[in-house]
Structure 1
C-alpha cells in the first residue's frame, strides 16, 4: 500500500527502528547503506556525488537534479535514499510506469515540501505528457494545471518549492534529450568487482547474523555477476542451506553445494544463461541465429532472453550479437565442455571460430 493517493510513498516510513523486535525483516531492511561513506564500490560516482551534495549544503540550496543509470541491482535506489539522508531531507518514491498522466505527476509535485527529494525509478517509462510537465517543474519549479476542456480550458500556473529530482534508469538512451539535459549530474553505475562484492557480503552477513568464512564469502562473490542485489540474494540462500544441513558457519563447501543446488555455476551462469548457450551450441551449431528463434527454442520470451540473459553473456564474452544473429564464442563452447564444429568458411560457427580470445579473458568493454 502506498502512503499517498498518487501511488507514491515516503521512504522514511521504511526505515527500521533499531530498538524494535529483532526479526529478520529488520535486518534485511537494514542491508541498504545509509550514507555515502558506507556505500562500497562505485568510487568515482560516490566522490562526484559527495562533492555535489556537500557544495549544495554549504550554499544552503537544493542540489542539482541527479540522474543515475546502469543495469538493475547496482544500487540506484540505495543512492537515492543516501542522497536524502545526506541532505537530511525526506524522500518520496514513485516510478515511471505509475505516472501515466500529467495529473498523476501534478499531484505528486504539488505535495512536495521545500528541499524534498523525489525519486523516480525507471524514469524512462513515464508517459510523454508527464515528461513534458516534468521539464518545466525541474527547470522553473512550476507546473501549469489545465482547468476545463476545449476552447474554454485555462492554464493555471502553480509555483513549487525548490526540490531535487533523482531519476533512475536502466536504459538511459530511451530518455528524451530535453529531459536528460535537465539533470545537473549524471552518474553511471558499473558492475562491481569481486572484492567490492565481498565487502558488501561481509557487511550483509553481519547484519543478518550469519557467520561466514572469507572463503565462503569469496565463493558467493565470484558467482554474483558483479551485482550486489544478486550477491545478497545468494547469501540468503546459502544461509538457508547451511541452517538446514546443520552447518554453523557458511564456508566454501557449503556455499558451493548451495549454489549448485540453486543452479548457479562457478561463473555465475544460471539456468537461463546455460539454456541459451546450450541451445545455441547444440541445436544451432553456435549460430548465427535470430533472437526470436533462439527464444522459442529456449522456451522464453524474446524480451526475457534479451534483457535478462544476454547482457551478462555478452559482457563476459560467451555470446556475440552480430548483424546476422546471436553467435556463441569459443569461450561458450569451452564452458559447456563441448567441441565447436570445424569452420567451413560459411555459416554455422564462422564468427565464433574466427574470434580469438586469450585464455582466461572474455570480458568485453561496453
Structure 2
C-alpha cells in the first residue's frame, strides 16, 4: 500500500499522527460535549430511557461531515451506558467472517462503533441486518452443496454507525437504526468554547480575542479549530511570550497560509485556477485538479464542500463555476455571468 499524502492544513479529515492529540481533547461525557444541542438532547433522552428500562438503547446512526465529533459521541455513548466500546471501520469488514468474529466476542450491553459504515462490504452488511434485528448471525460452514448454515446467538448490543455520506447507505441498513442524528457545522461561538476547553487541557494561554480569531477561520469544524490552536501555540511559544492573542493568531495563521475566511493555500489555488486559467468556468473537477496538481478526490472532498458553503464556488451540470464572491476574494472584478453578480446570470435558476 502506498503512503498517504499529507492532508491540506484545513482538511477536516484526521491527519496521520493526529489521533493521539484528538484522544486527549475528546470530551468524556455528554455534559462536556460542546455544540450540537439538538443531537445532545435527543441522545440524552435515548440513553436515559434505555438505562431506566435496563436494556440496550436502539442502534444509533451519526451522519455529517468529518471532524464534527461523531467518534467522540460514540465514545460518550459507551461511557454514559457504562459499557465497553468496540471500534472498527467499514473498509475493515471485507468479509462476513470478519464481522461474525467481532460480533461473537461482544458482551451483553457492549457498544460496537463502525466508522465509515457506508463502506462496509455487502456480505458483511447482509449479516449485520440479522444481528441488529434478532441478535444472531448465520455462519456458513463448508462450501458447495455440502455447505450448512449454523445460527449463532450473539449478546444484545448497541451499534453506533458513523457516516459522512448517509445517502450512500442502503435502505435496509438505514432502516434498522432506531435513532439517526445529523451533525451540523459549528458556529464561531461554539468553536470558541471548544478552543477554550482544549487550551485548558493543553496548557495554552489562550486569550479571548485569540480564540475569536481562530474560531472564525476554522470552517465550522472542531477538528480544524484544535489543529489551528496547536499551530498557533507553536508560533506563540517560539516567536512570542506564549500567549495566544488576536495579533499572534493572525501572524501565525499567515505563516500557515490560512486567510481571514478560513481558506488555505489549496483553496486559493483552486479558485485562482478556476478564475485565471478557465475564466471562472464551468470546468470539470478532474481538469481543475490537474491544474492545481492535486488528486480530484482531494479537491472534491476537501476543498469543494467549504468553497460551496462559503458561496465561492457553484456546482452546475456543466462543471464548477466561480461565483462573484470568489472573484472579489481574489481582488478581481467578476464578469456579468458569474453567479451572485448583480447582473442576470446564465447559471441562475
Shared fold (TM-score greater than 0.5)? Answer: yes
**1:121-160 matches, cutoff 5 A:** 121-160=115-154
Alpha-carbon displacement from aligned partner over 1:140-192 (angstroms, at most 9, x marks no partner): 00000110000000000000110000000000000000000000000000000
- Is the Cα contact below 8 Å between 1:69 and 1:168 reproduced in 2? yes
- Is the Cα contact below 8 Å between 2:68 and 2:221 reproduced in 1? yes
Determine helix, strand or coil for the equivalent of 2:205.
Answer: coil
Of 30, 36, 53, the residue aligned with 1:36 is 30
Of 266, 283, 288, the residue aligned with 2:260 is 266
What is residue 253 of structure 1 aligned with on the other side? 247
Q: Name the CA distance, whole Å, in 2 between partners of 1:193 and 1:81.
A: 23
Distance 1:356 1:228, change over 3 A: farther
What is residue 186 of structure 1 aligned with on the other side? 180
- Is the Cα contact below 8 Å between 2:323 and 2:338 reproduced in 1? no
Q: Aligned residues, how many?
A: 328
Distance 1:239 1:62, change over 3 A: same
- Is the Cα contact below 8 Å between 1:285 and 1:340 reproduced in 2? no
Gap runs ≥5 in structure 1: 1-24, 344-348, 358-366
Aligned residues: CA RMSD: 1.7
Alpha-carbon displacement from aligned partner over 1:227-275 (angstroms, at most 9, x marks no partner): 0000000000000011111323111111101111111100001111111
* Pairing 1:96–2:96 present: no
Distance 1:259 1:84, change over 3 A: same
- Is the Cα contact below 8 Å between 2:115 and 2:163 reproduced in 1? yes
What is residue 56 of structure 1 aligned with on the other side? 50
Alpha-carbon displacement from aligned partner over 1:65-99 (angstroms, at most 9, x marks no partner): 00000000000000000000100101000000111
Large movers: runs of 4+ above 2 Å: 25-30, 349-357
Distance 1:94 1:255, change over 3 A: same
What is residue 194 of structure 2 aligned with on the other side? 200
Alpha-carbon displacement from aligned partner over 1:192-219 (angstroms, at most 9, x marks no partner): 0000000000000000000111000110
What is residue 111 of structure 2 aligned with on the other side? 117
- Is the Cα contact below 8 Å between 2:87 and 2:112 reproduced in 1? yes
What is residue 12 of structure 2 aligned with on the other side? none
Distance 1:351 1:253, change over 3 A: closer
What is residue 77 of structure 1 aligned with on the other side? 71
- Is the Cα contact below 8 Å between 2:322 and 2:338 reproduced in 1? no
Gap runs ≥5 in structure 2: 1-18
Determine helix, strand or coil for the equivalent of 2:243.
Answer: coil
TM-score (norm 2): 0.91
- Is the Cα contact below 8 Å between 1:141 and 1:162 reproduced in 2? yes
Of 273, 276, 281, the residue aligned with 1:287 is 281
Cα offset, 1:288, TM superposition: 1.0
